[in-house]
Chains A and B, each alone.
Chain A
Amino acid sequence: MAITTERGSTTTSSAPVDDGPRRTSRTGPVLLTTLTWILGIGFFFPVLWMVLTAFKTEGDAQSSPPTFVFTPTFEQFRTVFDAGIGPYLANSLGATVISTLLVLLLAIPAAFALSMRPVEKTQDVLFFFISTKMLPVVAAIVPIYVVVNDIGLLDNIWTLIVLYTAMNLPIAVWMMRSFFLEVPSELLEAATMDGASLARTLREVVLPIISPGIFATGLICVIFSWNEFFFAVNLTSANAGTMPTFLVQFVTSQGLYFAQLSAAATLAALPVIIAGWVAQNKLVQGLSFGAVK
């Protein structure tokens, strides 16, 4: 898993300036740098535009051509809060945090077993896990709806928690397994000889080493469940609605309220950005072991 390569391309492009004779070969890096910037800005611009639009009046937001110069206003955010963002935010937080914790709790031992004690059918088990992601969710929604309806759990946050856990588990097992495989087997053998049980080895020796991997996996789960829309819109309404369903309210039949939608979307993205930033501090510590040579 590559985790921290986000800024890799720009760093390599700041090539040393002092070696004159090799000047001709520098057009390549310059081109690459330019391309990187264009792509980077291309990816980032919609996000920037969303944030800018969130601070506009509805009039400024609809103007054509678009304006970059405007008087910022918090009016849209006020509207969004007045529309009752609270319960949706709470639902999203609950569903995301609890499902992510459940996923890690289940995926870590599963991945540990699959990486440390590979058996004949390990590959098959792994394929089985990932095959569950091959079926389009749409194909499963009707039976899921019927079952959820029968057990009376429609519009219930626990339904989403269970579904999000199931949805993220295969990916988490795969990711965690790849991190476990990075742990040198001699460390496990040393722990065995030192008298540590398997659970103790996992907790005291292995987990501290792969903690960046846990954060990476956790972050992916957080993002996927926070942004999940399909289950949420089909299985919830007023009680258990999450942020994505809240956003849809601003796409109404009376018209598109760009500024309001942007403000709501900015608020919706904020927790994920914060989670990403927190996790990144852990991720950059990297999988540097210091155990081997």
Chain B
Amino acid sequence: MAEVVFDEASRIYTPGATPAVDKLSLTVNDGELVVLVGPSGSGKSTALRMLAGLEPIDAGHLRIDGRDVVDVASKDRDIAMVFQSYALYPSKTVRDNMAFPLKMRGMDKAEQAKRVNEAAEILGLTEYLDRKPKALSGGQRQRVAMGRAIVREPRVFLMDEPLSNLDAKMRVQTRAQIAGLQNRLDVTTVYVTHDQVEAMTMGDRVAVLRDGKLQQYATPSELYDRPVNAFVAGFIGSPAMNLMDLQRSGDGVTLGGSTLPLTREVADAAGSADTVTVGLRPEDLSLTSEGDGIKAVVDVVEELGSESYLYAHMAEHPDTTLVVRGPGRTRVRYGETIAVRVDPDAVHAFDASSGERLAS
């Protein structure tokens, strides 16, 4: 039970160079699951390790329940971490792995056994308690790593890409398990991933980082509906949002020979700029009948069963490419020309130079 506050916390590896984490400020509420997401090198793992006490905090503050932990040793912060590699102790059995943090805290044997058994029960590990990690599957090892964290009953859980060593199916299963477990235990959790799908599905709130700087900290739906800049817009959503630099023409922008209207606020915010970065999600584009719509030539068809994604380029501007969501079992084939309709309410617009969102 804890609230975690990053207050302009920075990590600077070499003085003068770009900080790995640059004045990060965000608050994780009690019981909340917050996901730090970003491409590699965005500082998300460093931020987590700062909270874990494995990296020093070079500037700013980091508070857990109001207490500044900048100078508090890792073991005294009352936090538990699940590592990407699981970091299980190979010479110890599952039972001893899970009991290790309790033993280190001098807890009496009976209480240790009770907690380990409870955790094993929750995680379905009871029958594996006497095995060594190398006799377990990847998913089981992952659960042991979870178990070692939950026996502690820590104030904060930290998870560093805990699913990245699992195969696709296990990942989806375990994703749901972790989210369920977190709900049930109601422990404040900070979760790091580079996978935006994990971030969207698991996080109560998601912090998008890039080059050590926080880009946007919001609920998944807000990130999706109102990305604050072109980077977040392109990062969140799969397939990624179509981002195009388009010429202004009157009240709108020119796209494939037709004009895409912009709202009054966007047009005002764009001011006198010649171009605007327009973002269109594949799901906000639809196929329409011949005649109206933007003409595009299909390069690749990805058939997913319930839906399909058409990768296409503009008939008149081959350099401009688009991803369009089509119906399942589409009859569109490679090389065909399609007509694409844009939902005018779903147009995202960003400043072409700064990438910042224009108006609403």
Contacts and interface: CB of A to CB of B under 8 A. Distances in A.
B4 interface: no
Contacts of A195: 75, 101, 104-105
B81 A290 contact: no
B74 interface: yes
Interface stretch (A52-60, A160-168, A185-193, A214-222): A185-193
B165 A293 contact: yes
B52 A209 contact: no
Interface in A242-282: none
A288 interface: yes
A190 B90 contact: no
Given A291-B133, A293-B138, A196 B104 contact: yes
A195 B107 CA distance: 12
B52 A193 contact: yes
Interface string A184-226: 1011011111111000100011001100000000000000000
B100 A194 contact: yes
A289 interface: yes
A192 B90 contact: no
A205 B165 CA distance: 22
A177 to B, nearest CB: 20
Contacts, number: 79
Given A290-B132, A291-B133, A293-B165, A190 B91 contact: no
A195 B152 CA distance: 11
Contact of A291 (B79, B85, B101, B138): B85
B299 to A, nearest CB: 36
A2 interface: no
Given A192-B54, A200-B104, A186 B83 contact: yes
B104 A189 contact: no
Interface in B99-122: 100-101, 104-105
Contact of A190 (B83, B132, B134, B138): B83
B45 to A, nearest CB: 12
B100 A293 contact: no
Nearest to A183: B90
B77 to A, nearest CB: 9
Given A288-B134, A291-B90, A293-B165, A186 B84 contact: yes
Interface residues of B, number: 29
Given A193-B80, A194-B100, A195-B105, A209 B54 contact: no
A208 B91 contact: yes
B264 to A, nearest CB: 54
Contacts of B267: none
B191 interface: no
Given A289-B90, A293-B138, A192 B133 contact: no
Given A208-B91, A209-B90, A292-B85, A192 B74 contact: yes
Interface in B76-99: 79-81, 83-92
Given A194-B101, A196-B104, A200-B104, A189 B134 contact: no
Contact of A196 (B81, B83, B100): B100
Nearest to B136: A290
B53 interface: yes
A291 B85 CA distance: 7
B90 A193 contact: no
A258 B64 CA distance: 79
B178 to A, nearest CB: 18
A83 B54 CA distance: 64
Contact of B85 (A186, A193, A205): A186
Contacts of B79: 193
B162 to A, nearest CB: 12
B90 to A, nearest CB: 4
A116 to B, nearest CB: 13
Interface of B: 52-54, 74-75, 79-81, 83-92, 100-101, 104-105, 132-135, 138, 148, 165
16 contacts: A187-B87, A189-B81, A189-B87, A192-B74, A192-B75, A193-B80, A193-B81, A195-B105, A200-B104, A205-B89, A208-B90, A289-B90, A290-B132, A291-B87, A293-B85, A293-B138
Given A209-B91, A290-B134, 14 more contacts: A186-B84, A189-B52, A189-B83, A190-B89, A192-B54, A192-B75, A193-B101, A194-B104, A196-B75, A200-B104, A290-B90, A290-B133, A290-B135, A293-B138
